[in-house]
Structure 1
Amino acid sequence: MADRVNFDGRTSIMAWDWKTYPASNQESSELIECVWLAAATELQTFPDSWEWNNNSLQYVSVQDAKKWVTDASLSELNAEDNWVKWLPAKCNLFLWRAGLNRLPTVDALRRRNIHVDTAGFVLCVGSEETIDHIVAECLYSNGVWCGIARWCRIPPIFLFSVHDIHVIAEHSGYSQPKKEVIRGILVITLWRIWKARNEKVFRETNVSIVQVIADVKALSFLWFNSRRKGLEVSWEGWRSFDFNVM
């Protein structure tokens, strides 16, 4: 910014260094918008400095980043997005990104000025691909949620956003430890729906609703028994969702 703005102590003067001048109406409009943005910028005379999480630092380390991620201030921004400990990091990260609307949906890509050939969600017809549509509005997703609800013996699942996953688990009627199981299963379900979407987009492979539900059951059983310490559930008990969690 300082390379293009001269500050004489009172006013800022743009010092353009054009290789080519604006030649179209769009370029002229972008130039006017750029001038307005620059006009609202106040330059200071002191040297630039690094800041991390509103604190001045001489350098930024991986340890600082880890501390910031686990800090309570970030938890307040995403109080509902507590990670499920028995899930792999990729599922927890996926849920976190989905809650922030950072998944590369068609809607998100277009907002970043990335052109895509199709606007609709590939697993259903006629609707724009947004994170809310994938979670709550898609008929394909609703079929998966209904199957998961029957398996987990909870009321039909109706979601309006990613954060409703935590609400569904909390009101499932189970004990607190088993609510954690429900929450993990719901996260895996959303992750598997997104994976089915990617398989359709990149491999042109159609994954049925029955297959998604079966994968959720198998993956959740594998991850729970291998990552949840102090408890092992049999496949028969998991398949019928008839087991106790302490």
Structure 2
Amino acid sequence: MNILSGFKLPPNSKDDWKWTLMPSGRFHTSDLTSLLNSRLLPSCSSTSETLINKMVPHKLGIFVWRARLQRLPVLMELDKRGVDLDSVRCPICNNDVETIEHTLFRCSFALDLWSRVIKWWGSSFIMISRFEDLFKGLLFSSSNSSVSSKLWQTIEWVTGYMLWRNRNQVVFKKKKESGPMLLNEIQIKSFEWISRRSRKLSLV
């Protein structure tokens, strides 16, 4: 009461919340999105834009966004944050430290799976030279249509997500799937998600 005793609202003023991050004082989701992009994306040299793919569930978009921002909890990132670990070596191949790039791109298991996926796609194996190009659908974009490029990007997202899921099964459940089994899951999930979200596109 002592604090409020000398406080008076101006005449005809409204008592409401003010969002101080914007000059208008009004909160809009679009303003928050722009603010997050301006603060987070430039801080990661490998990321210059937010990727969008409507052919897959939102959880895959979030996964790709976190991977490109180096925000997946691989052992090397956990070690940087002071988590006490017995080892930071890859739990799948044990040949190198576990970084996001290694898990999704450089690990022998990941390379074998990418080789199987690209062969299934009907192309000879071409190694992506830069990790930041992964998930963009650029590998075969020079020779295919925009639709084919979007389909390949979808396959990339599903493959990356399945690699990450398999990694977590190895770490937390001590269970590892084989390359052919994981490829089969990628084929099933890709067909299921694309056919449900792109009804005008025939995959048969």
TM-score, normalised to structure 1, is 0.65
Cross-structure match for 1:154: 123
Q: CA deviation at 1:123?
A: 1.4
Report if aligned partners of 1:169, 1:183 keep a CA contact under 8 Å in 2.
no
Distance 1:157 1:193, change over 3 A: farther
Q: CA deviation at 1:225?
A: 0.5
SS in 2 for 1:170: coil
Report if aligned partners of 1:84, 1:184 keep a CA contact under 8 Å in 2.
yes
Return the match for 1:168 from 136, 139, 163. Answer: 139
Give the counterpart letter for 1:168 in structure 2: L
Task: Report the aligned-residue RMSD.
Answer: 2.7
Q: CA deviation at 1:133?
A: 1.0
Give the counterpart letter for 1:193 in structure 2: L
Give the counterpart letter for 1:197 in structure 2: R
The whole-number CA distance in structure 1 between the counterparts of 2:83 and 2:140 is 36
Q: CA deviation at 1:50?
A: 7.1
Higher RCO (CA 8 Å, separation ≥ 6 residues): 2
Report if aligned partners of 1:140, 1:209 keep a CA contact under 8 Å in 2.
yes
SS in 1 for 2:90: coil
Larger Rg: 1
Which structure features the higher share of strand residues? 1
How many residue pairs get matched? 181
Give the counterpart letter for 1:192 in structure 2: M
Report if aligned partners of 1:169, 1:180 keep a CA contact under 8 Å in 2.
no
The whole-number CA distance in structure 1 between the counterparts of 2:39 and 2:191 is 31
Q: CA deviation at 1:109?
A: 0.8
Cross-structure match for 1:182: 152
Cross-structure match for 1:208: 178
1:100 paired with 2:63, answer no
Cross-structure match for 1:136: 105
1:232 paired with 2:199, answer no
The whole-number CA distance in structure 1 between the counterparts of 2:52 and 2:178 is 28
1:3-28, CA deviations, whole angstroms, 9 ceiling, x for partnerless residues? xxxxxxxxxxxxxxxxxxxxxxxxxx
Report if aligned partners of 2:134, 2:156 keep a CA contact under 8 Å in 1.
no
Distance 1:168 1:119, change over 3 A: same
1:154-175, CA deviations, whole angstroms, 9 ceiling, x for partnerless residues? 231313314334231424x221
Cross-structure match for 1:65: 32
Structure 2 unaligned residues grouped into runs of 5+: 1-17
TM-score, normalised to structure 2, is 0.77
SS in 2 for 1:126: coil
Give the counterpart letter for 2:65 in structure 1: W
The whole-number CA distance in structure 2 between the counterparts of 1:110 and 1:57 is 42
